[in-house]
Amino acid sequence: MDRLLKAARASGSLNLSNRSLKEVPDQLYKSLDAVGEGENWWEAVELQKLILAHNDIELLKEDIRNLPMLSVLNISHNKLSHLPAAIGELKSLKALDVSYNLLHEIPEEVGSAASLIKFDCSSNQLKNLPCSLGNCLDLSDLKASNNCLTSLPEDLGNCSKLSKLDVEGNKLTVLSEKSVASWTLLMELNAGMSHAFSKNALSDIPESVGNLSRLIRLDLHQNSEYQVPSRISSIPSSIRGCSSLAEFYMGNNSLTSLPTVIGELTNLGTFDLHSNQLTEFPVEACKLRLSGLDLSNNSLSGLPPEIGKSPVHKIEGEYSLFLHQMRIECLMTTLRKLVLTGNPIRTLRSSLVSGPTPALLKFLRSRLPAEEEGGTSGNKKEVIAMASRLSLGSKELSLGGHGLNVVPPQVWETSGITKVDLSKNSIEVLPVELSSCASLETLILSRNKIKEWPSAILESLCNLVCLKLDSNPLRQIPLDGFQAASKLQVLDLSGNAGCLPEYPAFSFLLQVQELYLRRMQISEIRGDILSLPKLRVLDMSQNSLQLIPEGFKDATSLQELRLSDNNISALPPELGLLEPTLNVLQLDGNPLRSYIEVPEG
């Protein structure tokens, strides 16, 4: 033990996991006081990371306050029955893991550890969470699954930076409208049932779920092996606001229908609706580009033929007949799994229902009218006029995928436009009328033929926060080019090899939170990128990167780092310092030969 403590005084990190410990060694609580022979006291480092997981520890003493610099404490998989109040005195604590213990409560004092970012108290015997958690304003990752929680504290709504919430396997009956509305950065919400003994019994989905535009995964499935008092019977129309939703799990509920707006979830890839009471699958939902759809054990008597097709446009209401005549159809090549067993479907042979998905889709497609199967390119003028009329109410102009070389001036007559989508066209030069769109917040120019960085136009768009210029033949951006868009929060330049301005041009983007630089033949990660103070998402996949610089240790706001398909062969130990904040690290497709090793002691 003395050897391990000596090493910890040099590194600031101590790992005592899987050592069959019955108690925490007393000398650990006074690590710096025990500087021994051969050590210089001025070189000793305060303990910052302590791992005590997978032991038989029954007590964590109040003496834990003697480790004030502790930022990571993992005492999961032990036999703790309570936590010391002194846990609240750890002002530097960012990650606390007390999962898989015997805890009946979390002390209110934990709210005094106001720097807390990650808190895992899963698999205990908790009946409630302390209201004081609402004081942890930087909390982004909360796991409280598999406990006995009947409600969540209203004060948790103060944690506006929450990005992951896992309360699966509890006894919750409601999610607070007010709290959900405040979690605008939430990316994952798991409130389903994890096993036959969990008793979450949510009866509805809060209307405020529509505020969660960054939500990627929503799991509200129930468990068929347990009879709950009530199940969710409807999905609110506000779900259309979850524009980033990729995975939606609603199995074993009581849904009888789906809202037509479900077809607006354009990023949805997995949709699990098994074991509900659905009598039909709406035509509007056939617009989804799903990879997996589970409709098993419902009350479906048939399926719309359109499920084998995927319309490009998304216009509803009084213009639906016009759209039906003008739309371009394409095969839904994304759908890989369609499960229909357990439905009273009479219009399909059982061999099709239980057989391979491609055969089922082909059969459904064959039942479409000939004119719909072939499709039509439509009249561009009418489509443009329609988009212009729709923008009057929505304040969004959508003209993506029409092969446009220029945009007619009349479409800019609508005032107050906040979003313009001109993606997938053949535009080489941006229309000067764009400069008059002072309210514009989002500009999507992906997959065009733009060669020059539009500094003059960007300078006029003082409210622009999102710019997507990916997949254009963009030439090198001038050194001062980013000054024209200094308020950007999202920037996508992917697929524009050689367009990046010289160092330190990125230093002008002080507000940027998401930066996408995929497929750009980049060979190094520049310092002016690493120094961006608010950067949360950095995607540099499919480049030519060979190493990860040590400077990443200072990127303390980073939550997602995507570096897939590069030439990275080793990971710097400094990357481990981002553990409290980094939620996603993608490194697949790299020739990694060495890894960060967890020391034995």
- pLDDT tens-digit map of 153-189: 999 999 999 999 999 999 998 999 999 999 999 999 9
Work out whether strand 560-562 and strand 164-166 pair parallel, antiparallel, or are unpaired. unpaired
Which region among 284-293, 301-310, 516-525 has the lowest average model confidence (pLDDT)? Answer: 301-310
Q: Is the pLDDT of residue 86 over 90?
A: yes
Residue 358's pLDDT is what? Answer: 66
The top-level CATH class assigned to 380-586 is: alpha beta
Residue 286's pLDDT is what? Answer: 85
Phi-psi region of 38 (alpha: psi -120 to 50; beta: other; left: phi over 0): left
Q: Is the pLDDT of residue 40 over 60?
A: no
Which residue is it, tokens 């995927």? 310
Residue range(s) in the chain whose domain bears CATH number 3.80.10.10: 1-125, 380-586
Q: What sign does the CA torsion over 506, 507, 512, 514 have? A: positive
Residue type, 1: M
Residue 370's pLDDT is what? Answer: 43
Residue 413's pLDDT is what? Answer: 74
Residue 45's pLDDT is what? Answer: 81
**Longest pairwise C-alpha distance within the chain:** 88
Residue predicted with more confidence, 84 or 573: 84
Residue predicted with more confidence, 330 or 370: 370
Q: Is the pLDDT of residue 254 over 50?
A: yes
Tell me which residue of 54, 61, 47 sits closest to 75, measured CA to CA.
Answer: 54
> Which residues, in sequence order, are bridge partners of residue 416?
none
Q: Is the pLDDT of residue 502 over 80?
A: yes
Count of other CB atoms within 10 angstroms of residue 422: 24
Q: Is the pLDDT of residue 146 over 60?
A: yes
423 within 8 A of 401, measured Cβ to Cβ: yes
Residue 327's pLDDT is what? Answer: 34
Measured in whole angstroms, how far is the alpha carbon of residue 41 from the centre of its chain? Answer: 45
Residue 379's pLDDT is what? Answer: 60
| Average pLDDT over the chain, rounded to an integer | 84
Residue 332's pLDDT is what? Answer: 45
Residue 334's pLDDT is what? Answer: 67
Mean pLDDT of 568-593: 84
Rounded to 5°, the CA angle 423-429-435 comes to 85
Work out whether strand 442-444 and strand 466-468 pair parallel, antiparallel, or are unpaired. parallel
pLDDT in tens, 530-554: 999 999 999 999 999 999 998 888 8
Residue 149's pLDDT is what? Answer: 94
Residue type, 365: R
198 is written with which tokens?
């969990």
83 is written with which tokens?
């936590």
Alpha carbon distance 86, 108 (integer Å) = 11
Residue 295's pLDDT is what? Answer: 92
Whether pTM > 0.85 for this model: the answer is no
Report the percent of the chain where pLDDT is more than 70.
81
Most confident region among 145-154, 356-365, 370-379 by mean pLDDT? 145-154
Tell the burial category of 270 from Cβ atoms under 10 Å away from its Cβ (0-12, 13-18, 19+): middle
Strands (E), 216-370: 217-219, 247-249, 270-272, 292-294, 337-339
365 is written with which tokens?
């497609």
Count of other CB atoms within 10 angstroms of residue 568: 19
Tell me which residue of 443, 452, 437, 407 sits closest to 425, measured CA to CA.
Answer: 407
Q: Is the pLDDT of residue 198 over 60?
A: no
Q: Is the pLDDT of residue 8 over 90?
A: no
Alpha carbon distance 301, 318 (integer Å) = 29
Burial 507-540 (b: 16+ CB within 10 A, else e): ebbeebbbbbbbbbebeebbebbbebeebbbbbb
Mean pLDDT of 329-340: 63
Residue predicted with more confidence, 250 or 327: 250
The top-level CATH class assigned to 1-125 is: alpha beta
Mean pLDDT of 34-63: 80
Which residue is it, tokens 């589970």? 294
Q: What sign does the CA torsion over 125, 131, 134, 136 have? A: negative
Mean pLDDT of 24-38: 70
404 within 8 A of 431, measured Cβ to Cβ: no
Residue 318's pLDDT is what? Answer: 29
Alpha carbon distance 116, 94 (integer Å) = 4
With residue 188 as reference, give the H or E element that holds it: strand 188-190
Mean pLDDT of 359-368: 62
Banded pLDDT at 338 (limits 50, 70, 90): confident
421 within 8 A of 441, measured Cβ to Cβ: no
pLDDT in tens, 388-447: 676 667 788 888 888 888 887 777 777 788 999 999 999 999 988 888 888 999 999 999
88 within 8 A of 113, measured Cβ to Cβ: yes
pLDDT in tens, 260-290: 999 999 899 999 999 999 999 988 888 888 8
Which residue is it, tokens 């009866």? 203
Query: Quick one: the chain helix, strand, coil %, rounded to 5?
Result: 25, 10, 60
1 within 8 A of 36, measured Cβ to Cβ: no
